[in-house]
Amino acid sequence: MPGFRCGVCDRLHDHLPRDIGYRRPELYFSVPAAERADRVEENDDLCIIDGSIFLIRGVLYLPIPDSDEQFGWGIWVSVSEADYYGYLDAWDNDTEDATPPFVGQVASAITPYPGAAGLDVMVKLQSGGSRPTFTVISDTHPLGIDQRQGVSEAKAHDFITYYS
């Protein structure tokens, strides 16, 4: 039976994961550890660096054709200050579903997809405490193609194998 050892809980699970998540944005690690308390406001969903870089965490889903499953990349995107605070306002007022989608940029590398950093995505807020979802705008970048056409079970497995 396939399985994996979780890097978070260190337990062996009997199923393969269907997502990979980045706990902090790549830019967070560019700030020296000794300076983070003064320069970074962050939690598992939001990050502001130097009061001028605004990042939110969400999920970019890739369908797995011929199944009801999908693979999720838990990534960070940079957004405008106005959209960042609009997200907070929607969260506080439970109006995520009424908030129009807005544009963000993938804020870090996604190793299997060279050139993914900086790609424009549409950010759609989700109600019920769910993270936003991201849709790649480019229809020519491999990540956008895979999001529209889907990835094979073997490719999803390769993602997990690479990171485990």
Confidence of residue 164 (pLDDT cuts 50, 70, 90): low
Strands (E) located in the chain:
4-5, 12-13, 19-21, 40-42, 46-49, 53-63, 70-79, 102-106, 120-124, 133-136
Show me where the domains of the chain are located.
Answer: 21-163
What pLDDT, on a 0 to 100 scale, did the predictor assign at position 63?
95
pTM equals: 0.86
Confidence of residue 72 (pLDDT cuts 50, 70, 90): very high
* Neighbour tally for 110: CB within 10 Å: 18
Closest of 89, 56, 95, 87 to residue 74, by C-alpha: 56
